């Protein structure tokens, strides 16, 4: 089954890709690696652990994952060219005493496994930040192994 068919089976529609907020591109390919620029969440804003609960932030991370998949599709034309999600870096706008960043970034990780199966299993870092641009709750960047 193609990845596009899998998305249909899961009733997942990919969102439009927001434009860059600066002088950079959404993705850069070198060899068989595709580096995706960090994408941020919405509509939630604020500190996870005080302003935003874990479940809401989890859903924000899932939405970011959908945007990242949309970037992969735009860059590769076919998601079947994804050999593996290699690495995810999840950044969470965290309250000072919040320590559940992995539970938040699971929103993106769970989505990748749901869509790509074993190819979606990846290495990952989930870390807290004192602030993210526009006070978004989550920003995620990804490295993807791709085929020609």
Domain count, the chain: 1
Q: Tokens 């959908």 label which residue?
A: 66
Residue 25's CATH number? 3.30.1330.40
Residue in 86, 66, 34, 73 with CA at minimum distance from that of residue 138: 66
82-93 and 27-30 strand pairing: unpaired
Give the C-alpha distances (Å, rounded to integers) separating 49 from 22, 45, 142. Answer: 29, 12, 24
Which domain covers residue 27, as residue numbers? Answer: 3-146
pTM score of the predicted model:
0.96
pLDDT in tens, the chain (148 residues): 899 999 999 999 999 999 888 999 999 999 999 999 999 987 899 999 999 999 999 999 999 999 999 999 999 999 999 999 999 999 999 999 999 999 999 999 999 999 999 999 999 999 999 999 999 999 999 999 999 8
């Amino acid at each position: 089954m193609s990845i596009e068919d899998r998305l249909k089976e899961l009733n997942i529609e990919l969102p439009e890709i927001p434009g860059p907020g600066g002088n950079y591109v959404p993705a850069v390919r070198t060899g068989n690696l595709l580096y995706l620029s960090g994408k941020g969440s919405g509509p939630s804003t604020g500190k996870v652990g005080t302003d935003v609960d874990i479940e809401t932030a989890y859903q924000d991370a899932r939405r970011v994952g959908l945007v990242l998949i949309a970037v992969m599709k735009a860059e590769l034309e076919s998601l079947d060219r994804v050999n593996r999600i290699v690495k995810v870096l999840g950044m969470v706008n965290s309250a000072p005493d919040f320590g559940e960043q992995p539970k938040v970034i699971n929103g993106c990780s769970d989505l990748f496994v749901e869509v790509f199966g074993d190819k979606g299993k990846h290495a990952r870092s989930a870390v807290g930040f004192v602030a993210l641009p526009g006070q978004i709750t989550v920003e995620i960047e990804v490295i993807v192994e791709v085929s020609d």
